[in-house]
Homo-oligomer: A and B are copies of this chain.
């Protein structure tokens, strides 16, 4: 069975026009599928309104107790249920889950890294693939928010890209999985702005050494190749409307 896992970033989820395009594209995808979302910008906005300082280190949110409440409300409440309701209206039997629901994504609190205490941030230990498989086989479409469960009654904040990769890898043990990261470009672009249709481990080395690819896209491709190595059939980097194949990494 083929299963699609799609990760949508906060930037798309928070722009009504982009979100509608994503939801329509996602609804049109055939077969079993899972949507994983972020919501960092709205969490930052709510924290601001509540006077809770936002501290980021290399793109990761330092999560104190007050911030954990904010991300729980925004990710598992506001963003997740808005996506679920809008997908339902498009005929998708969406069901929203966070990592604590059915112990879907278990994690442990990250120990301090280089002297930085990330607070209530979780590093993933495992995924309840039985629960996902059961929901998919019943025709449900899990919509997953980036909170994980610490096994001791607590929630932890976990990067949504990580959740998407981990869920895809766990499902790849029993299904043929394609993982799509969607954002506002048509894919990975070369220096001329054209989409690179395919990247594999060998061509990635060439693209890096020639300097054709630089910056923030490099870790994304590295992570995609790791997911492929761990069993995911293919990783796609594509535009949020999901109309074009984008860049296939395998």
Instruction: Report A's interface with B, CB cutoff 8 A.
Output: 46, 49-50, 69, 72-78, 80-82, 84-86, 88-90, 93-98, 100-103, 134, 138, 140, 147, 149-155
- Contact yes or no, A78 B85, CB < 8 A: no
Measured CA separation A73–B78 after assembly (Å): 5
- A49-B50, A101-B95, A140-B102 given as contacts; is B153 within 8 A of A81 (CB)? no
Contacts of A134 in B (CB 8 A): 138
Q: B76 to A80, Cβ gap below 8 A?
A: yes
Tell whether, in the assembled complex, residue B88 and residue A93 are in contact, meaning their CB atoms are under 8 Å apart.
Answer: no
Of the listed residues A75, A80, A140, the one surrounded by the most CB atoms of chain B closer than 10 A to its CB is A80
Identify the interface centre among A75, A76, A85, A89: most chain B CB within 10 Å of its CB: A85
Bound-complex Cα distance A134 to B93 (A): 14
With the chains together, A46 CA to B51 CA distance in Å?
A: 12
- List 14 additional A-B contacts (Cβ < 8 Å) besides A50-B50, A95-B97: A72-B78, A72-B82, A76-B76, A77-B80, A84-B98, A84-B100, A89-B151, A90-B153, A93-B103, A94-B102, A95-B101, A95-B102, A96-B97, A96-B101
Q: Most chain-B CB neighbours within 10 Å: which of A74, A86, A102, A151? A: A102
A96-B76 Cα distance, complex, nearest whole Å: 10
